[in-house]
Amino acid sequence: MQTSEPENIKTTYLDDFVAKQVFLDNPENKLNYRLYSPLQKNDKNYPLVIFLHGSGQVGPDNLAHLILSKDAIATLPYEPSFVLVPQYEQVFDPFDNTVKGHHQ
């Protein structure tokens, strides 16, 4: 029986996403993300798809936002592209540097 541990989940394209992170101001204020790059790299320009997950995919695993929503990979069989998929760790994330009372 296959368990739902990340190492047992196989999804087309999912294994080709590279886990990364970036931070602002200090390393504790980080944002995890995954990046997919087209397998055939040549002089051609590729589109960049930025997929923003919903509140059900927040967390520190840098994986749930890809597994629980296949929208990030939906276009890849039809059009090669770069896909950037950030994941917030919590609903109100410190990475969001919005001044209180001044939301857009």
Q: Which of 6, 57, 68, 62 is nearest to 30 (CA)?
A: 62
Could you tell me if 85 and 33 are in contact, meaning their C-beta atoms sit under 8 angstroms apart?
Answer: yes
Instruction: Report the helix count and the strand count for the chain, using DSSP H and E.
Output: 1, 4
- Residue 14 phi/psi, 5-degree rounding, is -60, -40
What pLDDT is recorded for position 53? 77
pLDDT at 86 over 60: yes
Nearest partner of 89 among 15, 14, 33, judged by Cα: 33
Residue 104 has pLDDT above 50, yes or no: no
Tokens read off for 37:
């790059």
**Does the pTM of the predicted model rise above 0.75?**
no
Backbone angles phi, psi at 95, to 5 degrees: -70, -25
pLDDT above 70 for 44:
yes
Q: What average pLDDT does this structure show over 31-35?
A: 89
Q: How confident is the model at residue 59 (pLDDT cuts 50, 70, 90)?
A: confident
